Every structure is written in C-alpha cells, then in structure tokens.
Structure 1
Amino acid sequence: MIVIDGLTKRYGGHTAVDHVSFTARPGRVTGFLGPNGAGKSTTLRILAGLTPATSGTATVLGRPYHRLPNPGREIGVLLDASAQHAGRTGREILRVAAITMGLPRTRVDEMLDLVGLTQDEASRRVRDYSLGMRQRLGLAHALLGDPDVLVLDEPANGLDPAGIRWMRDLLSGYARDGGTVLLSSHLLHEIEVVADDIVVIGQGRIVAGGTKEELLAGTGTLVRCADTARLAESLAGAGHHVEHVDPADAGAGLRTDADPTTAGLVALAAGLALTELRTADGAGLEEMFLQLTAQTQRDAHARETAGAAA
C-alpha cells in the first residue's frame, strides 16, 4: 500500500505539491493524472526517496522509502527509462541490481523473459536501445526484487500498440495477484482501460479521486437510435441536457446527463428502439480530465501572463 498524507514541496516561493493526500491500495491499479507541471513527478520522486518533502509524508508499506530495509524488494520504481547507464548492457544493469538486492542471477533471466528482451538485446549496450527497449528494461529492473508495490511514470512511452497491450496485461495481472500499482501517464485511454482508481492533480493539489466508475459516472450516457432528432427532443423534454456527439453525422448519437437506465426509459416511452446505450466512457476520462484541470491550467496561464507583463 502507498499512503500520501499532507505532502507538500516548496522550491523557494513556488509550491510544486500542496498538501496532497491519497492512497493506492493492494490489488488495484491507481492512475495518477494531471497536466504538465501539476506535481505528479515531484510526488513520485518524493515517494521514491529522490526528493525530500517540505512537509507531510509518503509511505510504502507503512514506511518512508529511506526506512525500507531493502527497497528494491518492496517497491519497484520506473521514473525515467532514459536514466539507465548507457555504457552497460541490459543484462549487466540487471545483474548489478540483483547483487545489490541479494538475488540469485537466475532472476535476471526470468525478468528478461518476462519483459520480452531477447538474449541478443540483453547483450547490447543500453545506448543502442530504442526507447521501447529501455522501457522494458526499466520495468524488468522494477520487477526484479518481486516487490509488493510498483510506481511507474509514463511506462508506455516508446512502446508500439502490441507493447502497450502487453504492458496493460502485465500490470493488471500484477494487481490481481495482490500488488499495488501507482501509474502516472498522459495516455488517458490507457489509464481508462487499466486503472481501478484514479487520482487527478492540478497545480499541485488533488482535484478529484475515487474509483474509475465513480469519476466517470458524471460523464453521462451515450445513446443512439435511428431517429436521433426525436430522441434528443424526448430527452430534452424530460429535463435532460443533450448534445450531439458529431453534429455533422445524423447517426452519430447523443450524449446526455441522464443515466443509462433513465435514458432507456425515456426512449421506451417515446417508442424508440435504441441501437446503443452505454456510459459515455469512450471519451469520458478525457472529458473529465479537461473539466477538472481546466481551471488550474487557466490560473497557471494567467499567472505566467501576469509575470511576463510585469
């Protein structure tokens, strides 16, 4: 388990993280979202013992990172896949880590197989790796000690669609086996697919948090039928907000603030046969993210503009 409690980090007069609190629980993938400069990386660096906090705490399995007896056996961290030693081979990097953690050398080959790096690739210098290969090596390093907790920052960067699917399945399986996963990413769709819980940060403060279902419940319902105009009229007549998903396409469907059950009953009362009825989660996370962070991004832009004018 990861517990962030009242975490604050100031750099001079700038507050990068402002009383941040949330929990990432075992058996679940927690998505950590926010625009650039929101405080995600600072929070993760504090959690991983790389940056001291001004106040508040960040604990892993009940302890701050520096008090873990053998950190690599308890928390696996991947914050920057490009930070690996470029002059060493992938295998050498994992062997050094295995020795440090007191692990058998056989664990290195197990991890290389797990992340899909071949023997030839493992023998190459990291400077010759693609970004996707570095991501796989970084994940192998994070998983090497068989930790209970994983903390990953943008792990899908550089991966092709097959690699992203592989990453998604790996993290889901890790959580199903009881592990705790804290995943930061700008790929909103991937977070939406893999995350059980979501925490949204903006300008250093938590602006939303909860299960994926709870947060996306407010994104409305997608409903479609042959007579979109009549359906829109019926929903509006019942007091619900309605918008066309694609106004240029008569059959594109509608998004409404009514829940799926209510939307279905309205359509039934109007004698309309629906061809689609579901929570509007296809673009739901993106819309929720933009709504929750729009004010903080506007505030940041205003401050930057004011500073430039001064």
Structure 2
Amino acid sequence: MIKVEGLTKTYGGFTAVDDVDFVCQPGTVTGFLGPNGAGKTTTMRIMVGLTPASRGRVTIGGHHYKDIPNPGRHVGVLLDASAQHAGRTGREVLTVGARTMGLPDSRVDEMLELVSLDAKESKRRVRNYSLGMRQRLGIAHALLGEPSVLILDEPANGLDPAGIRWMRGLLKEYAERGGTVLLSSHLLHEVEIIADEMILIGRGRIVARGDKKSLLAGAGTTATFVTALDNEALAAGLKDKGFAVSSAGEGLRVETEPVEVGRVAADRSLVLTDLRAAEEGLEDLFLSLTSDSQRDHLTEGPAA
C-alpha cells in the first residue's frame, strides 16, 4: 500500500505539490492523472526519495522508501525510460540490477521474454533503442525484483498500440495477483481503460478522485448516445420527461443515463438501434478541473 499524507513541495515561491493526500490499495491500479506540469512526477520522485518533501510524508507498506532494505525487491520504479546507461546493452542493464538485488541471472532472461525484447535486441546498446524499447526495458527493470508495489511515470510513452495493449494486460494481471500499481499519465483515455481508481491533479492539488462511475456521478456529467428508427418520436418522449436532447451524428445525445433512455423508448414502443454511455464525459470533467494547469503549461512551459 502507498500512503501519501499532507505532501507539499515548494521551490522558492513556487508550490509544485500542495497538501496532497491519497492512498493506493493492494490489488488495484490507481491512475494518477493531470496535465504536464501538474505535479505528478514531483510526487513520484518524493515517494522514492529522489526529491525531499517540504512537508508531509509518503510511506510504502508502512515504511519510508529510504528505510526499505533492498528496495528493488519491494518497490518497482520507472520514472524516466531514457535515464538508463546508454553505453550498456539491455541485458547488461538488467544484469546489473539483478546482481544488485541478489537475484540469479536467470531472472534477466525471464524479464526479457516478458517484455518481448529478443536475444538480438537485448545485445544492442541502449543508445540505439527506440523510446518504446526503452520503455519495455524500464518496465522489465521495475518488475525484476518481483516487487509488491509498482510506481510508473508515463509508461505508455513511445509504445505502439500493440505495446499499450500489452502493458494494460501486464498491469491488470499484476494487480489481480495482489500488487499495488500507481500509474501516472496525462493521457486520460489510456488510463481510464485500466485504472480501478483515478486521482486527478492540477496546479499541484488533488481536484478529484474515485472510480470512473463515481467521478461522473459527482460531476453530473452522465450522458447517453442513442439512435432509434424514429429519432423524432424518441426525442419528443425524452423532452417530455425533462431530459436535455441534442442531435449527435445519426442519433441523439441525451443528458441522462442509458437506462432512463431505454425506459422512455420502451414506454413508447420505439425500436433502438444504438444505446451507449457517452464516453467523453470523463474527458470533459478532466479538462474542466485542470483547465488552469492546461493554460499554465501553454504559457510557462512544463514543470515537474
């Protein structure tokens, strides 16, 4: 379990992380979401002792990271896939890690196979790796010590669609075995597919948290896309019930849950050809809650 309590980090007059509190439970994937410069990376660096906190604390399994013996066996970390020794081969990077942690060299072969780096690729210098290959190598290194906690900063960067799908399956399986995953990203769609819980951060402060359903319910952003054989009759029936209705492609967008739309259609004996929740609701919520950070990033440039 990861527990963050009152975490604050200031640089002179600038506050990068502002009184942040959250918990990541075992058996879950927690998505840590925010625009570039919102404070995600700074928070994660504090977690693993790379940046000192100004106030507050982070514990992993009840301990500060610096107090965990042989921490790679308990906490897997990927903060920057490019921060690997460019002159070493992929195999050498993992071998150094394995020997530092007291692991057999056979563990290196297991990890290379897991992340699909073949024998030829594992012998190439890291400087000649693509970003996607470096991400795979970084994930392999994070998993090398069979840790119970994973802390991953933007692990999907550089992965192709097949690689992103592979990563989702890998992390889901890891959490199902009881592992704790904290996964940061500014790409909402990629995280909402895998995350059990989501934490939204902007300007260094937590602006929302919860699973997808509770976030949308709390924001009142639930909407439905629907298409019927008689859209006009369905729209009239929905409006009679007080629901806001607008055109959307070949169908309608209705500001309510799909079940309510289905009830109106059933009451009026209308045939539906499409009925689904509007997937963009969470994205709209994310953008509205972090709009200040989005503007700051455009005008000031990124901050960790």
SS in 1 for 2:290: helix
Comparing 214-223 and 21-30, the one that deviates more: 214-223
**CA-CA distance at 1:156 after TM superposition:** 1.2
Partner of 1:240: 243
Gaps of at least 5 residues in structure 2 are none
How far did residue 301 of structure 1 move? 7.7
- Of the two structures, which has the highest relative contact order with CA contacts closer than 8 Å and spacing of 6 or more? 2
1:206-248 deviation line (CA, Å, top 9, x unaligned): 1110112222444322222233333233222211223333xxx
Match of 2:32 in 1: 32
Given that residues 35 and 293 in structure 2 are in contact (C-alpha distance below 8 angstroms), is that contact kept between their aligned partners in structure 1? Answer: no
The residue matched to 2:82 in structure 1 has which SS?
helix
**Which 5+ residue runs of structure 1 have no aligned equivalent?**
305-310
| 1:152 equivalent in alignment to 2:152 | yes
Aligned to 1:114: 114
**Per-residue CA distance 1:104-126 (angstroms, 9 max, x = gap):** 11111111111111111111110
- In 2, Cα distance between the equivalents of 1:20 and 1:266? 44
Q: How does 1:1-310 map to 2 (within 5 A)?
A: 1-217=1-217, 218-245=221-248, 249=249, 251=250, 253-281=251-279, 283-297=280-294, 300=296
Sequence identity percentage = 63
What is the distance in 2 between the residues matched to 1:243 and 1:45?
46
Q: Which amino acid aligns with 1:219?
A: T
Residue 76 of structure 1 contacts residue 147 of structure 1 at CA under 8 Å; is this kept in 2? Answer: yes
- Relative to the length of structure 1, the TM-score reads 0.90
Q: Is the 1:219–1:287 contact (alpha carbons within 8 Å) kept by the matching residues of 2?
A: no
Q: Size of the alignment, in residue pairs?
A: 297
Matching residue's letter, 2:25: R
Distance 2:63 2:14 in 1: 27
Report the CA distance between 1:165 and its aligned residue: 0.9
Which residue identity does 2:277 align to in structure 1?
A: T
Instruction: Give the counterpart letter for 1:235 in structure 2.
Output: L
Query: More deviation in 232-241 or 144-153?
Result: 232-241
Alignment-mate amino acid for residue 55 of structure 1: R
One-letter amino acid of the counterpart of residue 148, structure 2: D
* AA partner of residue 240 (structure 1): F
Q: CA separation in 2, counterparts of 1:141 and 1:296?
A: 32
**What TM-score, normalized to structure 2?**
0.92
- Report if aligned partners of 1:203, 1:297 keep a CA contact under 8 Å in 2: no
